Structure 1
Amino acid sequence: MPIRSVILGCGSYLPARILSNQDLASMVDTSDEWIVERTGIKTRHIAAEGETTADLAEKAARAALAHAGVEVSELDLIVLATATPDNTFPATATKVQQRLGMTRGAAFDVQAVCSGFIYALSVADNFIKAGQARTVLVIGAETFSRILDWTDRGTCVLFGDGAGAVVLRATEGKGDATDQGILSTHLHSDGRHHDLLYVDGGPSSTQTVGHLRMRGQEVFKHAVVNLAEVVHEALSANGLEASAIDWLIPHQANRRIIEGTGRKLRLPPEKVVLTVDHHGNTSAASIPLALCEAVLDGRIKRGDVLLLEAMGGGFTWGAALVRW
């Protein structure tokens, strides 16, 4: 029988400190109206001094394990997506592993920026399908506030900190689109666009952390095209039409990109999970944050078909089709 990766539960965590558009207007030349009109963002969460990506990831992980009813001793693997690790090495995933008390299996990080959670989900799914793991914790966690130039109004208004996680379990399926679990994942990258979205630092290049740099309009144009294509790729791979989608759960970067993708799929707005307004762009954390919010408030129900999609620096982009 074909093996599927079923999502047993999810969890999330947002830091306590909330930074509003009005707060930002006192720091840089911007306004609430300007930010909301262009991005849909009203507030974002900022990690406290001394609060790290591992701290956020651990809290989301514990919430996901509790929601899934899974013990740490059952975990075979942790895959953590982040572009803002605690240290250059070791992997932040190993810090989470230690804190959870997991002493078997493996833990490692995946770096694909805003597409990180899709990449991590794909890696975990393939470990399960290959028979190398049965129960996997997948986390997306970021402290993007640590790499922002707070004098650059084009970027500092966009991003926030947070973490989300899911627990996957190997389950027998029939091998068709009626199965529960991850139906397919689709990953892409194109390194030619490095200079449109990047951080101007790193251990090997500048020996500094650096700051995020972005040419927003160019990124926007690529995002609309790439996301539409990968969404149709995912549907086609499973022989499904867009009408089969119960929920679109996009990377929460910009309300206009999200609404544009929904229109291309002819999905009504009420089928699109939108959380960017209250946590901004949390990079690899944004999809699991949005997923968990819609699961816990009862919108997403068992059997629903979910389409997850994201694009990030690299460029990287991808999609996952999941039956909850």
Structure 2
Amino acid sequence: MTPFQDPAGVAVARSAPAPSSGTRVAGLGAHRPDTVIGNEQAAEAAGVEAQWIEQRVGIRTRRFASPTESVVSMAVAAGRAALEESGTPADEVDVVVLATCSMPSPMPSGAASVASGLGCTAAAGFDLNAACSGFNHALAVADALVRVGTARRVLVVASERMSDWVSPNDRDTGPIFADGAAAALVVASDRPGIFPVAWGSDGSRADLILISPDTRRMTMSGRKVFRWATSALMPVVEAACERAAIPVDKVKAFVPHQANLRIIDALSAAIGSPDLVTATDLTVAGNTCAASVPLGLHALRRDGRIHPGDPVLLFGFGAGLTYAAQVILNP
């Protein structure tokens, strides 16, 4: 794609993309902050025992961004890694979608800054906030954009700095949420590598997880969210597999939102595949909200636990309440 530069300095692509019969993930990238917070430190701040944290949610360590790391800078690092893995020049990206709920301000768009930081000179950029299912929502949007011919290449980045929005003294959120970013480049494909999304929302339960406009601090009704996730969400998993025409028990890997190890274990058991590989990045990375699903996928690939072409079920759920799942083929 050769961008056209008009006299006012606005870059646009000369030619329109063509529709595609399918899409695939061409590259993945991740950024994990260097600062590691163990349970002893988190427990002291929250007024609980370190063992209580691991028993309750399964987390042993989490990562916090440094003062110089922002939602945007982490997104740029993850996006650059995804482009490098795919061998794609930044100026060939048509759209950058930033999945986040932790920008410090609602304006300007974080995605526009990410595109600029990467050198995506002719890319549209917009933010998408579906909280912990944000990556799944953004991936579905990217798939649709490429399929209908609005874009050739879409960079989906999920980046969160949740440490800005939780109080270390709050036992329901402080020891749980963390920071990080991951990205996926979505491109056209002759055969489907990203299958139709199954998604929805339940705004009647929006008060279960929220950030108060007065305190700018997050609150969460953990027990109610746990009951909802373990009792109501399996039909979403089944619907995603049906839309991919892949039986649930034939999925090779499961990458759920990294919210709580007991939730992850319950959903994995319900899938019922004895050889299922399940992402448990939560134990070392904490709950990174929208970034948790792609970070979990990246960890499975990094560790060699899944192979090219394996069907992988991605599943996000969280504040809103929102939920979304889709099957992809591991790139």
Identify the residue that residue 23 of structure 1 maps to in structure 2: 41
The whole-number CA distance in structure 2 between the counterparts of 1:226 and 1:119 is 19
1:313 shift after superposition: 0.5
1:3 shift after superposition: 1.7
- Out of 69, 92, 104, the position equivalent to 1:74 is 92
CA contact (8 A) 1:54 1:86 kept: no
1:273 shift after superposition: 1.4
Q: Which moved more, 1:140-149 or 1:268-277?
A: 268-277
- Out of 194, 197, 217, the position equivalent to 1:211 is 217
The whole-number CA distance in structure 2 between the counterparts of 1:196 and 1:86 is 22
CA contact (8 A) 1:259 1:269 kept: no
Structure 2 length normalisation: TM-score?
Answer: 0.91
| Residue 139 (str. 1) matches residue 157 (str. 2) | yes
- Out of 311, 314, 319, the position equivalent to 2:317 is 311
The whole-number CA distance in structure 1 between the counterparts of 2:140 and 2:276 is 27
| Residue 184 (str. 1) matches residue 196 (str. 2) | yes
- Out of 136, 156, 175, the position equivalent to 1:118 is 136
Q: Which moved more, 1:8-17 or 1:84-93?
A: 84-93
Identify the residue that residue 328 of structure 2 maps to in structure 1: 322
1:148 shift after superposition: 0.4
| Residue 12 (str. 1) matches residue 18 (str. 2) | no
Amino acid at match of 1:191: G
CA RMSD of aligned residues (A): 1.4
Amino acid at match of 1:198: L
1:215 shift after superposition: 0.6
Question: Percentage identity across aligned positions?
Answer: 35
Amino acid at match of 1:182: I
Identify the residue that residue 84 of structure 1 maps to in structure 2: 102
| Residue 286 (str. 1) matches residue 292 (str. 2) | yes
What does the per-residue CA deviation read over 1:30-83, in whole Å, with 9 as the maximum and x for residues that have no partner? 122101111110010011113210011111111111111111021011111000
| Residue 155 (str. 1) matches residue 181 (str. 2) | no
The whole-number CA distance in structure 2 between the counterparts of 1:270 and 1:32 is 30
Identify the residue that residue 176 of structure 1 maps to in structure 2: none
Structure 1 length normalisation: TM-score?
Answer: 0.93
The whole-number CA distance in structure 2 between the counterparts of 1:113 and 1:212 is 12
Instruction: Tell me the secondary structure at the aligned position of residue 45 of structure 2.
Output: coil
Identify the residue that residue 5 of structure 2 maps to in structure 1: none
What does the per-residue CA deviation read over 1:13-42, in whole Å, with 9 as the maximum and x for residues that have no partner? 111111110111222211221011111100
The whole-number CA distance in structure 2 between the counterparts of 1:126 and 1:270 is 28
Identify the residue that residue 14 of structure 2 maps to in structure 1: none
Identify the residue that residue 231 of structure 1 maps to in structure 2: 237
CA contact (8 A) 2:46 2:175 kept: no
Amino acid at match of 2:140: S
Q: Which moved more, 1:25-34 or 1:310-319?
A: 25-34
| Residue 197 (str. 1) matches residue 215 (str. 2) | no
Identify the residue that residue 69 of structure 2 maps to in structure 1: 51
- What does 1:230-309 correspond to in 2, within 5 Å? 230-268=236-274, 271-309=277-315
Runs of 5+ unmatched residues, structure 2? 1-18
Runs of 5+ unmatched residues, structure 1? 174-178
Q: Which moved more, 1:142-151 or 1:235-244?
A: 235-244
1:270 shift after superposition: 5.3
CA contact (8 A) 1:262 1:269 kept: no
Q: Which moved more, 1:39-48 or 1:296-305?
A: 296-305
1:263 shift after superposition: 0.6
Q: Which moved more, 1:115-124 or 1:28-37?
A: 28-37
The whole-number CA distance in structure 1 between the counterparts of 2:244 and 2:118 is 36
Identify the residue that residue 105 of structure 1 maps to in structure 2: 123
1:269 shift after superposition: 7.2
1:97 shift after superposition: 0.7
